[in-house]
Amino acid sequence: MKFAASFLVFLPALLFADLSKQVDTHAAAVESKVIEWRHDIHQHPELSNQEFRTAAKVAEHLRALGYDVKTNVAVTGVVGVLKGGKPGPVVALRADMDALPVTEKTGLPYASKVTAEYGGKEVGVMHACGHDAHVAIAMGAAEVFANLRDELPGTIKMIFQPAEEGAWPTPIWGAQQMIQEGVLKNPAVDAIFGLHVRPGVSGGIYVKPGPIMASADFLRITVTGKQTHASRPWSGVDPITISAQIILGIQTVASRQVDILGSPSVVSIGTIQGGERNNIIPDEVVMTGTIRTYDPEIRQAYFDKVTRTAEKIAESAGAAAEVYIGSDTGYGPTVNDQELTEAMTPTLQRVAGDSMLFESTLTTGAEDFSFFQKEIPGMFFFLGVTPPDQNYKTAPTNHSPLFMVDDSAMITGIRAMSHLAVDYMLQHPKK
């Protein structure tokens, strides 16, 4: 993947070369610790807004490095600020800390055996999305910056965020809550960077300007009918049959009701609950799902048309459908700032090498990092972490109980995050 000439020609060559060399030296020195931290965090995963052990580990590490540390931000979040020895901009790095209600099946020696209550059930807990890697990489980058403190031309703000996966049953997103509590202020952040591990060439970096991940909107449809004996369905109104029709009907929003040329979209139902006994037609069925889009107009069209489709299908059968959906139940697409991404891609090219930097495709996965990007310039990229004995094209993906992270990719993550922050500072000098 080739990009325009590097910004480095505009920098004092000796200053850049010295800092760049030091970043790599300190990143290499912390690599083994980052791997140990990841294994430890992986073995002790915690659900959204329950990241108490992880947060304590992070806070202890940052304090030992000399950061000004604030804890309990947005419940369990940790923020560390390190002022460099020279004036310059404020750069934030973000790492999400929460795990998922997934029972691990990797068989790794450090596999999670943790269980917790989720949705009224006892479930396994696993870092199936790779947030253990994000936390460990950010802890490593924090140590790199601490070792360069006197020479840093700016201020570092490390943001360790809870609840990226959302706290339920009411969706609460950690990034949104941290912003509401002032995480981008005092000192005000000029730019923010984040990464996400995913299946891909181990150590490969995937990035693109503009939209890179979809919006994510929570959808709940409650269908109310009339309970009756299953042998006499005509005596009541069957919400189960109606729900099946709604599930099929809302698929026509993408296929027949919205112009998706140039902007893909998805609506999926993930849960459906109704009834207590095989021979009783219940009063109510509740289904939940997600809507993924990239365009604000298409996103709003989904809100309107999914609601209309569900309500009218239910009405046609003598039932009622209540649809809970809207911008307050999710967040917009992850959109990389064009100017920032074009300026910083040469940094990623230098870190990864020409053969390991790839242009990312759109992904229908979603990230609440988008909340940060609505406030300030932000760039988000992917780090390939598929173990070399697996084919990354068919390897278990994020949220799978078999998802695995190759430790050898961690050094690329440390270097990428560290160089992005330092290079941004050098690009935006302040007196």
pLDDT in tens, 278-309: 999 999 999 999 999 998 889 999 999 999 99
Query: Over 90: is that where the pLDDT of 166 sits?
Result: no
Indicate whether 1 belongs to any domain: no
Which pLDDT band holds residue 330 (cuts at 50, 70, 90)?
A: confident
* Digit-coded pLDDT (tens) for 398-417: 999 999 999 999 999 999 99
Q: Which long-range contacts (CB under 8 A, 24 or more apart) does 304-307 make?
A: 305/253, 305/257, 305/258, 306/219, 306/250, 306/253, 306/267
Is 109 found in the same domain as 130? yes
For residue 339, what pLDDT is reported? 98
Do 253 and 337 reside in the same domain of the chain?
no
Q: Does any domain span residue 11?
A: yes
The per-residue pLDDT for range 192-205, each reduced to its tens digit, is 999 999 999 999 99
Burial of 264 (0-12, 13-18, 19+ CB in 10 A): middle
- Same domain membership, residue 304 and residue 339: no
**For 64-113, how does the pLDDT look when each residue is reduced to its tens digit (9 = 90+)?**
999 999 999 999 999 999 999 999 999 999 999 999 999 999 999 999 99
CA triple 419-425-430, angle to 5 deg: 170
Same domain, 358 and 323: no
Q: Under a CB-based contact definition with an 8 Å cutoff, are residues 162 and 75 in contact?
A: yes
pLDDT value at 348 more than 80: yes
Q: Which tokens go with 211?
A: 């939209």
Look at residue 391 and give its three-state secondary structure.
Answer: coil
Query: What average pLDDT does the segment 347-373 reach?
Result: 96
**Residues 350 and 285 occupy one common structural domain:** no
What CATH number has the domain bearing residue 416? 3.40.630.10
- Residue 268 belongs to domain with CATH number: 3.30.70.360
Q: Does any domain span residue 378?
A: yes
Helices (H) and strands (E) in the chain, counts: 9, 20
3-class state of residue 37 by DSSP: helix
Residue 171's pLDDT is: 73
Alpha-carbon span 376 to 162, nearest angstrom:
20
Containing H/E element for 243? helix 239-252
* Same domain for 348 and 292: no
Domain stops at, among 329, 363, 395: 329
- Whole-number Å distance between alpha carbons of 25 and 171: 42
Average pLDDT on 100-128 reads 96
Q: What is the pLDDT of residue 9?
A: 47
In this prediction, residues 137-152 reach a mean pLDDT of 98
For residue 119, the model assigns a pLDDT of 83
The confidence score (pLDDT) of residue 13 equals 66
Residue 2 maps to a domain: no
Locate the DSSP E strands across 150-265: 153-161, 191-198, 205-207, 210-214, 216-224, 228-229
Q: Of the candidates 339, 336, 253, which has an alpha carbon nearest to the alpha carbon of residue 298?
A: 253
Per-residue pLDDT band for 5 (boundaries 50, 70, 90) equals very low
Task: Tell me: pLDDT of 262 over 80.
Answer: no
pLDDT, tens only, 10-54: 556 666 788 999 999 999 999 999 999 999 999 999 999 999 999
Strands 363-366 and 210-214: parallel
Which residue segment(s) compose the domain that 314 sits in?
Answer: 216-329
Mean pLDDT along residues 143-153: 97
Whether residue 325 sits in one domain with residue 393: no
134 falls within a domain: yes
> Looking at residue 11, what is its pLDDT?
52
What residues have CB less than 8 Å from 338, skipping those under 6 apart? 209, 210
pLDDT at 194: 98
Are 123 and 181 within one domain? yes
Q: With pLDDT > 70 as the criterion, what percentage of the chain qualifies?
A: 96
Q: 408 and 360, same structural domain?
A: yes
CA distance 121 to 124: 10
Q: Are residues 144 and 262 in the same domain?
A: no
When divided into structural domains, the chain yields a total of 2
- The answer to whether residue 77 is domain-embedded is yes
Dig out the tokens for 201 from the structure: 């060439």
Query: What pLDDT is recorded for position 104?
Result: 98
Last residue of a domain, one of 290, 311, 329: 329
Q: Is residue 312 part of a domain?
A: yes
Across the chain, mean pLDDT equals: 94
Amino acid letter for position 27: A
H helices of 160-231, in order, are: 174-180
pLDDT of residue 4: 46
The answer to whether 267 and 306 are in contact (CB under 8 A) is yes
DSSP H stretches of helix in 266-403: 296-316, 338-352, 370-375
Residues 91 and 24 in one domain: yes
User: Given a cut of 90, is residue 161 above it in pLDDT?
Assistant: yes
Are 43 and 157 in a shared domain? Answer: yes
Residue 328 or residue 80, greater confidence: 80
Spatial separation of the C-alpha atoms in residues 30 and 141, rounded to whole Å: 9
- Whether 237 and 422 have beta carbons less than 8 Å apart is answered as no
153 is a domain residue: yes
Q: What is the mean pLDDT of residues 237-256?
A: 96
Give the end of a domain, one of 298, 329, 360: 329
Return the pLDDT at 1.
53
